[in-house]
Chains A and B, each alone.
Chain A
């Protein structure tokens, strides 16, 4: 049981380049999330998908787009990377049906934009 899988684990981009971070979960979860983690800032929600077919902005959506490709997969795209997007990105999921559910995280993608 793999849980939440993120790819790639590391990436270096030049300013202006684009890339897509991939996330897949094998737990049949309804809700999926993208967070970024920066020193001193904690985890901040970028976008989330409460259920297949829906996506919504989180706290810091500017410069990002997302696609909920199917129930398993939720991708995050940087169209024109900026140094301010240097961060560690985490994907997470939960079933989204009950109040007592725990959130499951991927192992993260460390992104550097030069």
Chain B
């Protein structure tokens, strides 16, 4: 059974600092790994998707890396802004039943 872990559960940084969010998973037989953002009281929005054959994906200030052999992914957010304050979740996708398994999320606060 896939287990996905995100540590730390919460993170507070001053504006302008780079954010590093970690995600680890136990079963490396995945199709892809996705990073999501969730604002309070809202649904989840997909930020980046890394296929199992890829090492990283970039979108603007966001960069996500994937190391399947070690079961780790990292989301980097450059030059953080107060608008980046949210909960960030990672999820692995396996082919069997098209199921995603989520981590518990990291709650980020960027202080002005």
Q: Which A residues are closer than 8 A to B by beta carbons?
A: 4, 31, 33, 35, 40-45, 48, 50, 56, 58, 90, 92, 94, 96, 99-108
Contacts and interface: CB of A to CB of B under 8 A. Distances in A.
Contacts of B100: 33, 45, 103
Interface residues of B, number: 27
Contacts of A108: 41-43
21 contacts: A4-B43, A35-B102, A45-B99, A45-B101, A48-B98, A48-B99, A50-B98, A58-B99, A90-B44, A99-B31, A99-B52, A100-B32, A100-B49, A100-B51, A103-B34, A103-B46, A103-B93, A104-B46, A105-B45, A107-B42, A108-B43
A114 B97 CA distance: 34
A41 B104 contact: yes
Interface string B52-63: 100000000000
Main secondary structure of the interface of B (DSSP, over half): strand
Contact of B43 (A90, A101, A102): A90
A50 B4 CA distance: 22
Interface of B: 4, 31-32, 34, 36, 41-46, 49, 51-52, 89, 91, 93, 95, 97-105
